[in-house]
Structure 1
Amino acid sequence: MIVDDDPAGDWTAPGVYRCAPGVYRIPLPLPNDGLRAVNVYALADGDGLTLVDAGWALAQSREALSTALASLGAGLADVRRFLVTHIHRDHYTQAVVLRREFGMRVALGRGEQHGLEVLRRTRPGQRHHRKQLLGLGAHELVRELERHVPPPVEPAEYEFPDDWIDDGARIVVGEGSADQRVLEAVATPGHTRGHVVFADPAGELLFAGDHVLPRITPSLGLEPAPAESPLADFLTSLELVRSRPDAVLLPAHGPTGMRVHQRVDELIAHHAKRLDTTLAAVQEGCSTAYEVAGVLLWTRRDTPFTELDLFNRMLATIETSAHLEVLAERELVTVEDRDGIRHYTS
């Protein structure tokens, strides 16, 4: 059954939700993930569909997608292509797996090419963030991570796309039909190096992926080959989106309906405040990203670092590093590498 999307409802509930004429939100499950679900958007495309993002290549996700498409009078074979915002597994891997069976095309931002190359070289049990975390002074965290079996990375799920999407590319969906729309791809690095969003100016919609999320702040630099300054990239991308006409936010995680400019302003303000608290921690004597992360509060609930789960402590440490690098770029702190560990002083 198709229902109109309700921003006040449970955004993770299975189903098909109409966001705009010819645009449907399909939440797919993320088992054992605090995000709980990822939104995939189905767009009418002639006698088929174009999907923005694809979900994680899991049996539960495939079943949920198949059921949702049936409500639209379609099946997996009717998907013409996937437009994927970035290479994280909950967005990309199901597109790769389904392509082998049904032959639809997969498109991805060109900036993700290097990250895909690294993922395709991944060895069983390899931890991409081990060296990075050691350089941030997080030796204790690394020891704890090594006591846990990492989720397996299947290089076959990270095959290259059929099409690389360039910044500014115009993508026609439903050409010649009553539902025709032209999406503009906008490169928005930060969450990952090659993240893209898709703007629908005529429909006043922004398919935002993980660049702008309504309830949480996107992680920064969580990828096998992060950029030198993910936060600087992210803030620049936020300003770019803010400079464009306002639109309805269609995020990958969380409810739809918020205005893009409002949420971008909130995210910029959040990071300005976080830069201030990060600088204060350095001024009080914290030296490494791990030490700084340990004295800051996290999530909307102001959770102490020690009360975060293992994965989120890793995210917090990496994000703190991103803030420290911006402070260094602004010459508010100085950086020194000692014995392979990055130290900051005010």
Structure 2
Amino acid sequence: MTARFDHGAWAETGVETVHPGVHRVPLPLPQDGLHAVNVYVLEGMAEDGGLVMIDGGWAVPEARKTLEAALAGLGYDLSAVRDVFVTHAHRDHYTQAVELRRAFGARVHLGAGERRGLELLNDMRGGIGSALRTLRQAGAQELAARVRLTYPDLYDPGHWEEPDRWLGAETLRFGEHALRVIPTPGHTRGHVVFLDARRGLLFSGDHVLPRITPSIGFEAADPGGRPLASYLESLRLMTDHADTRLLPAHGPVGPSTHTRVAELVAHHGERLARTLAVLGDDTRDAFTVACALPWTRRALDFTELNPLNQMLAVNETVAHLDVLALRGKVAVSRVEGVDRYTRMR
């Protein structure tokens, strides 16, 4: 059964048992280039024989039907889900957890650092407001206007409600099993991962992904500080623990968290160097730098990206330039609301 779940077929509908009692279920994502999000179904954790889930999926009918069929194949129905532990509040992870609570009484748990972002979404003032502000400060005002026209329909504030419990850095115990909650800010300020040290498993959400690098600081709330610096420190934190199998939210299960962490750190090191080289001896805004950088593993030109991915590219460029500033490699000045970067001599 697991032969289908290789690098090319991880998003196909089905159930992959990655460890006795631990099952990966890819759920479809509409209008999303990632194709699917992995949720993990854990047996033997709830006292009454119910199920625990890591992440909930996106609240769309296709995802609910897929989850229902997967649970039926394991001998359960949706009402068996007792708790959903969510890595972060993005729609493809959080909104179906809320639906499971509404329909069946499942409890929802979320990292405490997501509180501000969730408040903004609940108040209908969230969405991508922080990302649009970053675009304007990056000198990409025209792109910000284009994104604003096309993006709002992707958000329904009614899908976001407060969790039953806010999680800190703690250990959750389930009889002989335990999940250690590790805050990993970067992708969002409140992202957490769940470490099952006894079974050698890391439920990594979007923090450590096997094939792509996550967007940095993409959330309703102002990510605060320098999100890439936080992300790099959160990656380093993974090596403070024994190596584990990597159970990501997008992509196939991987054999080594430490190996992938090293690859991600190296990638960002290379990206920082390339960003500095593109900046050169000129004073430039982040939008200008982003336009001169290659994007994705296929080294696409900036103009080949759609507006949403152009927004993510500019925001990532800002994150890298801010780390370079933190390291004393560039100086930053704000002129008429736009940040401009100059290489230090």
Tell me the TM-score range normalised by the shorter chain.
over 0.9
Give, in whole Å, the separation in 2 of the partners of 1:27 and 1:247: 21
Partner in structure 2 of residue 182 of structure 1 = 178
Rounded to whole Å, the distance in 2 between the matches of 1:149 and 1:267 is: 29
Contact 2:131 2:315 in 1 (8 A): no
Q: Could you tell me how far 1:7 is from its partner in structure 2?
A: 3.3
Please, what is the CA RMSD of the aligned residues?
1.7
Q: What amino acid is the match of 1:63?
A: K
Alpha-carbon distance between aligned partners in 2 of 1:66 and 1:42, rounded to the nearest angstrom: 12
Shift of 1:6: 3.8
Change (3 A) 1:124 1:272: closer
Deviation at 1:152, TM superposition (A): 3.9
Contact 1:214–1:258 (CA under 8 A) maintained in structure 2: no
Q: Secondary structure at the match of 2:284?
A: coil
**1:315-326 paired onto structure 2 within 5 Å:** 315-326=312-323
Shift of 1:227: 2.3
Equivalent position of 1:329 in the other structure: 326
Which of 286, 289, 313 aligns to 2:286? It is: 289
1:263-342 correspondence runs (5 A) = 263-285=260-282, 287-342=284-339
Greater shift, 222-231 or 313-322, is seen at 222-231
2:160 matched residue in structure 1 = 158
What TM-score results when the alignment is normalised by the length of structure 2? 0.94
Deviations 1:203-240 (A, max 9, x none): 11100000000000011011011222110000000000
Amino acid at match of 2:77: G
Pick the aligned partner of 1:102 from 84, 96, 104: 104
Change (3 A) 1:165 1:285: same
Corresponding residue for residue 238 of structure 1? 235
**Partner residue of 2:79 out of 77, 80, 83:** 77
Shift of 1:200: 0.7
Unaligned runs of 5+ in 1: none
Instruction: State the distance in 2 between where 1:249 and 1:150 align.
Output: 33
Q: Who is 1:22 aligned against?
A: 21
Q: CA deviation at 1:126?
A: 7.6
What SS does the corresponding residue of 2:266 show, helix, strand or coil? helix
| TM-fit CA distance, 1:286 | 5.4
What is the TM-score normalised by the length of structure 1? Answer: 0.94
2:30 aligned residue? 31
Matched, 1:250 2:247: yes
Structure 1 segments (4+ residues) deviating >4 Å: 2-5, 123-128
| Percent identity over paired residues | 50
User: Residue type of the partner of 2:214?
Assistant: P
Alignment partners' CA distance in 1, 2:151 and 2:249: 27
